[in-house]
Amino acid sequence: MQLIVEQPAASWYKQQLELKNGESVRIFIKLGGCSTVVPGLSLGVNKELPINPGLSATVEGVTFFIEEANLWYLDNKGLRITFDEQHEEIDMIVE
């Protein structure tokens, strides 16, 4: 199980959330949205400090993480975060 944040996605988040090097982004479970993993739940992001990270990746000077308590959502799979340039949007792919 691993967290992969591709460089274009990290750059997009850095710009959109006005992130500076050394800051962090929490990936969390939220009610609603579109998911192929758990119906009725999806992933969201927020600029936050980690408390007990289960997975993390530092890209473009920013640490992206998922708290240990939220790893159940991935069902022992990994998460890849990509940026779709054609549609100018983020894709979160559980693989």
d(CA 45, CA 23): 13
Task: Please tell me the predicted confidence (pLDDT) of residue 40.
Answer: 72
Domain count, the chain: 1
Q: What is the pLDDT of residues 29-57, one digit of tens each?
A: 987 666 666 657 889 999 999 999 999 99
Closest to 62 (Cα-Cα) out of 86, 76, 46, 74: 46
| pTM, two decimal places | 0.92
The enclosing domain of 68 has a CATH number of 2.60.300.12
Residue 62 clears pLDDT 80, i.e. is over it:
yes
Look up the domain containing 22 and give its range: 3-94
Q: Mean pLDDT, the chain, as a whole number?
A: 93
Task: Please tell me the predicted confidence (pLDDT) of residue 35.
Answer: 62
